[in-house]
């Protein structure tokens, strides 16, 4: 039996809210499903994320709203926050990614999240609606 987890795109107003929405979709109220991209990938890989660790679909409803909420502006905001804590050797690459986001270029948080959710190595599937 396939389990469907629904992300309501209208509730995704930024990255912090995305973590809340996906956590609740998968694990119920106050559910946790990672708070960074690496944790998201780990949770999707099975064994520590989806409750049944079986076949599942993540249905992202109204995803077009999330495209904007997790777009270049939010990507730049998050990169600025990360830049402050980054190891000095990582700062030049992060600064370059920040400059790209500020110019409206490069992958957005939405792009990165979708790539993780759609990764063929995870047991589930992504459906955008």
- DSSP-assigned states of every residue in 27-39: H-TT----SSHHH
Q: What is the pLDDT of residue 48?
A: 61
Q: Which residues of the chain have pLDDT under 50?
A: none
Q: How many CA atoms lie within 13 A of 112 on its CB side?
A: 19
Q: What is the pLDDT of residue 127?
A: 93
Structural domains in the chain, CATH included, are 1-64+109-129 (3.30.370.10), 72-107 (no CATH)
Cα gap 26→31, rounded to integer Å:
7
DSSP β-bridge partners for residue 58 = 5, 126
Q: What is the pLDDT of residue 42?
A: 82
Q: What is the pLDDT of residue 27?
A: 87
Place of tokens 């209208």: 10
* Contact between 110 and 66 (Cβ < 8 Å): yes
* Contact between 129 and 58 (Cβ < 8 Å): no
């Amino acid at each position: 039996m396939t389990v469907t987890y629904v992300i309501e795109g209208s509730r995704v107003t930024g990255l912090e809210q995305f973590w809340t929405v996906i956590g609740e979709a998968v694990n119920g109220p106050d559910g946790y499903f990672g708070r960074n991209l690496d944790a998201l990938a780990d949770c999707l890989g099975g064994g520590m994320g989806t409750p049944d660790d079986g076949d599942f679909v993540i249905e992202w409803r109204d995803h077009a709203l999330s495209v904007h909420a997790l777009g270049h502006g939010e990507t730049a905001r998050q990169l600025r926050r990360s830049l402050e804590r980054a190891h000095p050797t990582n700062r030049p690459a992060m600064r370059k990614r920040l400059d790209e986001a500020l110019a409206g270029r490069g992958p957005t948080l939405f792009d990165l999240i979708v790539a993780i959710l759609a990764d063929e190595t995870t047991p589930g599937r992504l459906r955008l609606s």
